[in-house]
Amino acid sequence: MSILTSSDRVAGAASVGRTKRLRPSYWPFIVPALIVVVGVIVFPWVFTLWMSAMEWRIGEEQRFVGLQNYIRLATDLRFLEAMGHTLVYTALSVAAPLVLGTAAALAFNTKLPARGLLRGIFVMPMMATPVAIALVWTMMFHPQLGVLNYLLSQVGIGPLQWVYHPSTVILSLVLVETWQWTPLVMLIVLGGLASLPTEPYESAQIDGANAWQRFRYLTLPMIGPFLMVAVIIRSIDALKSFDILYTITQGGPGTASETINLYLYSVAFTYYDIGYGSAIAVVFFVLIILLSLILLHLRQRSAWNSGDGK
């Protein structure tokens, strides 16, 4: 607008004056947060980036090597294998809790007797400490003494090697992850189900949709945005997963369950190759960011309840 009324001008001048006068007094509120963010997020990342360009072993001379560490990564078979394990582990630990959590949410969304109590029991695994869980599962996985093989023997299935065999170790770890995190997905989806409008279901009933069709064509697309939130949270969580893996297998047997996280840990803190470890951390970070972006984009597309949807 080119013409301002006198009152506009007065109000404008007043607000400029106020901003000027008040600006210095904002600093005390911002500085603590700024220090924390710079200290624990910005600085470590810049420092990691810088370290990844160095040849740096603890106790030895530091040397700038540019992109050497990254080139080494591309040809490091153990790293590539760890990347494969990470992706498989992540995909399975997202998919399994998602399917089971959604099923559980649908069950808890009905008028189940003692629903509150059952739901409370169901979310308990989520509240336990990962290391404690890992120790319990380690005992349960034991081929001779573990309860899992005992249970299998009761239904006539022979003993499995669980985490002690390369072919079953990742699946076994996914089992633990699924057991712990299905409740989270259940809670997210249950929240989604509770927010769904009920009227479309009545019109679908009249339109002739049976129970499966109502789930397939109404419930599933309508809880899509909530499922995507669960997928994003689970993906990032599973990618970063460390405690359960480290406590139960430490990447073994051999390197059969070694994920990027575990490999990074052993490079940096077992071999003390800080420069190379930093390069792995940077690649890992980029991987997480890329995945998050893809998922956020998918979430946007699945949203039917916001935006103009064009």
Partner 1 sequence: MASVSIRNVRKSYGTVEIIKGVSIDIQDGEFVILVGPSGCGKSTLLRMIAGLEEISGGVVAIDDRVVNDVPPKDRDIAMVFQNYALYPHMTIADNMSFALRLKNTAKSEIAAKVERAAGILGLGPLLGRFPRQLSGGQRQRVAMGRAIVRDPKVFLFDEPLSNLDAKLRVQMRTEIKEMHQRLKTTTVYVTHDQIEAMTMADKIVVMHDGIIEQIGAPLDLYDHPANMFVAGFIGSPAMNFIPGILGGDGFTTEAGDRLPLGGRVPAASDGRPAVYGVRPEHFRLADEGLAAEVVVVEPTGSETQMVLRPLGTNANRAGAGREDRQRELTWVLRERTGARPGEVVRIAPNPALAHLFNPDTGLRL
**Site residues for partner 1 per CB under 8 A:** 197, 199-200, 202-209, 213, 217-218, 221-222, 224, 304-305, 308-309
CB of 228 to partner 1, least distance (A): 13
Stated as kind and residue range, the H or E segment containing 63 is: strand 63-64
CB of 221 to partner 1, least distance (A): 5
The answer to whether 279 and 71 have CB atoms below 8 angstroms apart is no
How far apart CA 7 and CA 20 sit, in angstroms, is: 20
Residue that the structure tokens 């470890």 belong to:
277
| Helix pair 77-108, 166-194: axis angle to 10 deg | 40
CB of 110 to partner 1, least distance (A): 18
- Identify which of residues 167 and 198 has a Cβ nearer to partner 1 in the complex: 198
DSSP letter (8 states) at residue 11: H
Residue 55: helix, strand or coil by DSSP? strand
CB of 111 to partner 1, least distance (A): 16
How far apart CA 209 and CA 220 sit, in angstroms, is: 14
- Identify which of residues 148 and 222 has a Cβ nearer to partner 1 in the complex: 222
- Identify which of residues 213 and 300 has a Cβ nearer to partner 1 in the complex: 213
| 198: its two tokens | 């009920």
- Identify which of residues 219 and 249 has a Cβ nearer to partner 1 in the complex: 219
- Identify which of residues 97 and 224 has a Cβ nearer to partner 1 in the complex: 224
CB of 229 to partner 1, least distance (A): 16
- Identify which of residues 61 and 308 has a Cβ nearer to partner 1 in the complex: 308
CB of 298 to partner 1, least distance (A): 15
The answer to whether 228 and 302 have CB atoms below 8 angstroms apart is yes
Q: How many CB atoms sit inside 10 A of residue 30's CB?
A: 9
Q: Which residues pair with 64 in a beta bridge?
A: 54
The answer to whether 274 and 268 have CB atoms below 8 angstroms apart is yes
